[in-house]
Structure 1
Amino acid sequence: MTQHTLAHPGDQAGRLDVYRKITWRIMPFIVLCYLCAYLDRVNVGFAKLQMMNDLKFTDAIYGLGAGIFFIGYFIFEVPSNLILHKVGARRWIARIMITWAIISAATLFVQTPTQFYVVRFLLGVAEAGFSPGIMLYLTYWFPAKKRGFALGFYYIAIPLAGVVGGPLSGWILDAFGQSSVMRGWQWLFLIEAIPSLLAGIAVLFLMVDKPEQAQWLTSEEKRNVIEEIRREDSAKTTHGSSASFIRDSRLWKLCLVYFCQIIGLYGISFWLPSIIKGAGISDNTMIGWLSAIPYFIAIPAIILTGISADRLRSRRMHFSVALVIGAIGLAFSGYVGRDPTLAIIGLSVGTAGTLSALSLFWGIPSAFLAGTSAAAGIATINCVGNLAGFVSPYMVGWLNDTTGNVKIGLYAVAAFMVLGALLVRMISAKFADQ
């Protein structure tokens, strides 16, 4: 980068170079942290393949335990994000990751449904604030027009967790299944908590709170980034009081949309291994490898959708189309029943659509909120919407046990996703597509 480029803040090429530098400096580590978070959150889906039989749990017990995580998450989400905004991402993200690693590992001691519920609730409390905290953190570094790509980059951690975690989890279950020390599912919780613990410690040394503290940016680059984000924030909403925040109907509309979307996300995350097993695959290692396929296919879909939405300034349209495609794929995977090839095709389409929509969603609230309102707004939408993380697995488990037909639960999940695609149209394009 030349001094001439840096000397002209309005020069488009110079700004692109700055954000490219920021992207490659901070995003790979953030993706690694979120990969650890998501792995610890959903490895219970693989543990289910063994622990259900060992502990004599029903689908309803499993669904309630998987979902109760989000009750703790809901209660502590907004306070956690406000603390992060006050004390800085570095210290608070490190605290979150270290505590959730310890609690996730403690799941290996579970023997009763009550213990399962308690440890899942505490895991939600520990992790509360991580995902919205990272999304808030990105608003410190990227203006809205660059944030679609950054969020897409961030959310590839979910499919990466599936690509890495699926085969790893299946291998752990089989490799340690005959251990005389612990059962395979217990080893799973212990081993997969270690990366989160190490990454949490690394955050203290590697994360930089804001651009003005980044020693790897020149003074001119810092000024360009700070000024561009400040100009953008001056045109955004900063609520003057709690009452005005609560009265902002856009927030509650987005909560509804996100709720429907998360129904789909965790319909896939918590049940994907079981869907593959139900299609006639019994070997845990093979289930692990097959479960990686939908996530692998989702990676380019997320990136390309984010780039397209940024260029066309049409987040709502891209979001709706992606979510409907995800719903069709998920419903199809249930419809084809015991055909493993068609089930994988349906799950791949469903996962790609659902995760693409997820990466697009967070560009909407961050496009019109700034400062403390952004911290509280993002956390509020995330925590209310994530109540679907409780509803989704419990709903599917209850429907499985009640009807004896696994298709019904998947159809219900798909219906919520279509509803979310319709509800997003309530958000004005003036705010959503900035």
Structure 2
Amino acid sequence: MTSNTPLQRANSKAIRRLLPILILLLFINYLDRVNVGFAAPTMNPDIGLTALTYGIGVAVFFIGYVLLEIPSNYVMYRVGARTWISRIAITWGLVAAAHALVTDFPTFAIARVLLGVAEAGLLPGILLYISLWFSGPQRILVLGIYYVAVPLSTAIGGPVSNWLIHHGSETFGLDGWRFMFAAEGLAATALGIVVIFLLPSRPRDARWLTDEEKQAMEGASDRASANHHGSRTFAAALRSVVTLRLAGIFLLLTFPMFAISFFLPLLTSAVDGGGEAAVNLVTFIPFTLGALASFGWSRFCQKRGLRPWHYALPAGIGGVGVLVCALGGTSFPVLLGGIIVAAVGIYAAIPVFWSFATGSLTGAAAAAGLALINTVGSLGGFIAGYFTGWLRDATGAYQVPLGVMAACLVVSAAIALVSLRRQPLTVTPDAVDARTEG
């Protein structure tokens, strides 16, 4: 598309200037959240964790995260994105690095709770931030590009984490898994400092936009808000049926997503032929394809306008992939194939879901609603850690928890197919373009 209008020029500049920083933030954020899975095969024996206590430790991350998610997003709405996102990144990085000091289950659990407290508000804050800059079909594409970072944090971060674990041993006197936590945590702190200098809070604060481009981008956002008929206040969004419906759909999506991220290295180690090379393979290939699916499916939806089946289809496909893993027994090729299908489906569905969510909320309502949706979705992470570990110990295998994950994805798809038809959202590209171009 030729960038010949002020809004198109502004969108192009914003994508080039902002998305690399936002993608890197999300990449390191998810890496610092799930790298515990790559540490687990060596960390668990070192500090005496069973599958259940490891699962509990993973799960308690979400206690502080859930409690502070909404207050954090409210503060960001008041003080501005640059200051608050920077604060989050600096503190979460320091806490993530402190994981190198854990010695037993109590210290591990405390570190995970504090990490949740430090990270609270980052994802909904960035989603709110994106909604202030981009509107209409452009936002669908931007979210698709942005969410490439989530599967890449596993596809690339997995081998990187394993490399740090195996080659960082005895560096500064640390075990390999301790060195990995320290290195990846301090990377987040450094990025938080960069945010202060490179991330303007709103279009009017961007020195690299002309006055005409600033007015065009702010005007598009204002017109999108003026044409919105859903909740507008902070309190109204928290009790909105639309918000609660979206939160339920997201909860059913995040449980299998987090469970796979947290337990995939352990699951791979339990099948025939599972080892370091197998773990690298089962993380790199499926999640790289998941990243491509996130972008490609968002591009498809951008051209055609959002429809409920744009979410339901990939979510259902993800469920089929997880079910294949459950039925595959101890076969590594079947596990690899199932994870490929699951990753493609799940990561294609995520940006479409957030396109519906950000298109259904505006202003203060977006700050509250996005935080509430992500808070409820984060319960999926808590359930994934505790429930998956408990089921694994109770049954002696991963087949039952995998079956539960598959069912969650299918149910999420079914609910979305019916309920998203009632969302207060403009779904045709032509209508949105006419509205935003003025």
Q: Is the 8 A contact 2:268 2:279 kept in 1?
A: yes
Report the counterpart of residue 431 of structure 2 in structure 1: none
The amino acid across from 1:331 in the alignment is: L
**In structure 2, C-alpha distance between the alignment counterparts of 1:332 and 1:192, rounded to whole Å:** 33
User: TM-score, structure 2 length as denominator?
Assistant: 0.92
User: Are 2:403 and 1:428 aligned?
Assistant: no
User: TM-score, structure 1 length as denominator?
Assistant: 0.93
* Contiguous gaps of at least 5 residues in structure 1: 7-13
1:239-283 CA-partner distances (Å, limit 9, x unpaired): 466664344211111111010010121021111212222223454
**In structure 2, C-alpha distance between the alignment counterparts of 1:139 and 1:271, rounded to whole Å:** 33
**In structure 1, C-alpha distance between the alignment counterparts of 2:99 and 2:42, rounded to whole Å:** 14
Pairing 1:319-358 to 2, within 5 Å after superposition: 319-358=311-350
1:170 pairs with one of 148, 162, 170: 162
SS at 1:203 equivalent: helix
1:56 pairs with one of 40, 44, 48: 48
1:318-356 CA-partner distances (Å, limit 9, x unpaired): 111111111111221232122222211111110111111
User: Are 2:299 and 1:307 aligned?
Assistant: yes
Report the counterpart of residue 277 of structure 1 in structure 2: 269
Q: Is the 8 A contact 1:142 1:229 kept in 2?
A: yes
**In structure 2, C-alpha distance between the alignment counterparts of 1:163 and 1:244, rounded to whole Å:** 39
SS at 2:424 equivalent: helix
Q: Is the 8 A contact 1:369 1:377 kept in 2?
A: yes
**In structure 2, C-alpha distance between the alignment counterparts of 1:20 and 1:429, rounded to whole Å:** 32
User: Are 2:196 and 1:194 aligned?
Assistant: no
Identical-pair percentage: 33
* Contiguous gaps of at least 5 residues in structure 2: 428-438
**In structure 1, C-alpha distance between the alignment counterparts of 2:253 and 2:180, rounded to whole Å:** 28
**In structure 1, C-alpha distance between the alignment counterparts of 2:425 and 2:260, rounded to whole Å:** 26
SS at 1:405 equivalent: coil
Alignment: residue pair count: 426
The amino acid across from 1:47 in the alignment is: A
Q: Is the 8 A contact 2:94 2:185 kept in 1?
A: yes
**In structure 2, C-alpha distance between the alignment counterparts of 1:144 and 1:328, rounded to whole Å:** 31
Change (3 A) 1:131 1:247: closer
User: Are 2:139 and 1:147 aligned?
Assistant: yes
The amino acid across from 1:404 in the alignment is: G
1:42-93 CA-partner distances (Å, limit 9, x unpaired): 0000011111111221111111111111111100001101111111111101
User: Are 2:243 and 1:257 aligned?
Assistant: no
1:401-426 CA-partner distances (Å, limit 9, x unpaired): 00112111111111111111112122
**In structure 2, C-alpha distance between the alignment counterparts of 1:133 and 1:392, rounded to whole Å:** 23
The amino acid across from 1:366 in the alignment is: T
| Comparing 421-430 and 315-324, the one that deviates more | 421-430
Q: Is the 8 A contact 1:399 1:409 kept in 2?
A: yes
Report the counterpart of residue 376 of structure 1 in structure 2: 368
Report the counterpart of residue 212 of structure 1 in structure 2: 204
2:101 pairs with one of 101, 106, 109: 109
Q: Is the 8 A contact 2:32 2:184 kept in 1?
A: yes
Change (3 A) 1:178 1:198: closer
How far 1:22 sits from its partner (Å)? 1.5
Report the counterpart of residue 76 of structure 1 in structure 2: 68
Change (3 A) 1:181 1:282: farther
The amino acid across from 1:16 in the alignment is: Q
Report the counterpart of residue 283 of structure 2 in structure 1: 291
User: Are 2:370 and 1:365 aligned?
Assistant: no
Change (3 A) 1:172 1:241: closer
User: Are 2:262 and 1:267 aligned?
Assistant: no
Q: Is the 8 A contact 2:236 2:365 kept in 1?
A: no
**In structure 1, C-alpha distance between the alignment counterparts of 2:179 and 2:414, rounded to whole Å:** 43
The amino acid across from 1:121 in the alignment is: V
Q: Is the 8 A contact 2:90 2:192 kept in 1?
A: yes
Change (3 A) 1:172 1:282: farther
How far 1:125 sits from its partner (Å)? 0.5
The amino acid across from 1:428 in the alignment is: R
SS at 1:94 equivalent: helix
